[in-house]
Amino acid sequence: MADLKWSSDGQEMFGKIMAIVPEAMRDAVKPMLYGFLEKRAAGKPVTADIVAAMVQNDLPEPQRTGIMEALGLKKPQEQAPAADAGPSAPPPPPFTPQWQGKSEVMFELMLNEVPEALRGVFRGKLLEILRQKSKGGSVTESHVTEVVKEIVPDPFKTTILKKYTELGDVDLSCIDAIIARYGTGQENLTYILHETQDTVGFLPPEALRAISNKTGIALSTVYNVATFYKSFRMEPKGVHHVKICNGTACHLKDRDGVLDTIENMVSQTSAKKVTMEKTLCLGCCDCAPAVVIDGEVAQGTEAKTKVEKLLA
């Protein structure tokens, strides 16, 4: 690390910059800033003017503008405008994106990783980058992901991209509170999965990824547990519920294969109207082959007809 000499005002201004930088990034950023200052100081004490020049000329965008605004610095051309300069071109109007898919949610997630004091500046700068990428048209999810990969440094880039894998059509905000109650230990995984399912209604893939990311438990382990126990559902419940008896009596009396036909009808339909469950015995052996449809017992071909109507 550079052995710099400091003036009091230079050290004070540099301290303000480091206070703006997120704590997780300070150790990585400080050597780079010291390198810039060492070149500009050329062996002389680092003054506030040298720090300001470093910010104005050496930092990349949008970090440069954000830090300049936080420190109250002006752009170089604003400090010493040319006497004979003509009227400057008006700034482009604010970009109002047409968001597609989850792009707006993804943009806000990215912005939340920016220190609060800089969010106002970064919002405008990031929107301008999106304007360029989208050529003024609709902003897609891939546009936002490209911005994250191109300009966001680690560890924030990795954190944001992980959060993107948790996005889906289901509100998973409950998972943070559930994990806070049970902890991140693998011994509590089934409790976390059960409560998540009770709250969300089922366990979509993005919920499993969120649980893995937030607990540190391998995704393969989370998936194996969720698929091993039949009490966990990977699909949302349908409007109707069909229980097919897989007991001995129903199996022997189902000479026409009605139960297999019902199972195939439900599993092959694309409509999510019916949730199907197979159980060992319904306790209705006198009605074999028995099927319970929305809480009512139906027998054989009668059950098949009812299920057909539900799927119609």
Q: What is the CA radius of gyration of the chain?
A: 30
Give every CB contact of residue 91 below 8 A, 6+ residues apart in sequence. none
Return phi, psi of residue 247, to 5°: -75, 170
What pLDDT shows up at residue 47?
92
Query: Residue 224 above 70 pLDDT?
Result: yes
pLDDT tens column, 132-144: 999 988 999 999 9
Domain boundary assignment for the chain: 8-79, 98-165, 174-228, 240-311
Higher pLDDT, 184 or 265: 184
Amino acid at 63: Q
Residues 234-283: tens digit of each pLDDT = 887 777 888 888 888 888 898 888 888 988 888 877 556 788 878 888 88
Residue 134 has a pLDDT of 92
> Euclidean distance between the first and final Cα of the chain, in Å?
73
Count of Cβ atoms closer than 10 Å to residue 120 Cβ: 14
Q: Which CATH class is domain 240-311?
A: alpha beta
Q: Is the pLDDT of residue 191 over 80?
A: yes
- Distance from C-alpha of 38 to C-alpha of 5, rounded to nearest angstrom: 9
With CA atoms as reference, report the closest residue to 71 among 84, 88, 55: 55
Sort strands 98-99 and 290-293 into parallel, antiparallel or unpaired: unpaired
**Which residue has better confidence, 227 or 170?**
227
pLDDT score for 80 = 47
Kindly state the average pLDDT of the residues 33-56.
88
What are the residues facing 296 on neighbouring strands? 293
| Tokens 């150790």 found at | 27
Q: Partners of 277 in the beta sheet?
A: 243
Confidence of residue 67 (pLDDT cuts 50, 70, 90): confident
Q: 31-40, 72-81, 185-194 — which one is most confidently predicted on average?
A: 185-194
Question: For strand 98-99 and strand 274-279, is the pairing parallel, antiparallel, or unpaired?
Answer: unpaired
What is the tens place of the pLDDT at every residue in 271-310?
567 888 788 888 888 888 998 888 889 888 898 898 888 8
Residue 92 has pLDDT above 70, yes or no: no
Question: Rounded mean pLDDT of the chain?
Answer: 83
Report the pLDDT averaged over residues 17-44: 82
CA distance 135 to 2: 43
Asked whether residue 87 carries a pLDDT value surpassing 70, the answer given is: no
Using DSSP's 3-state secondary structure scheme, residue 296 falls into strand
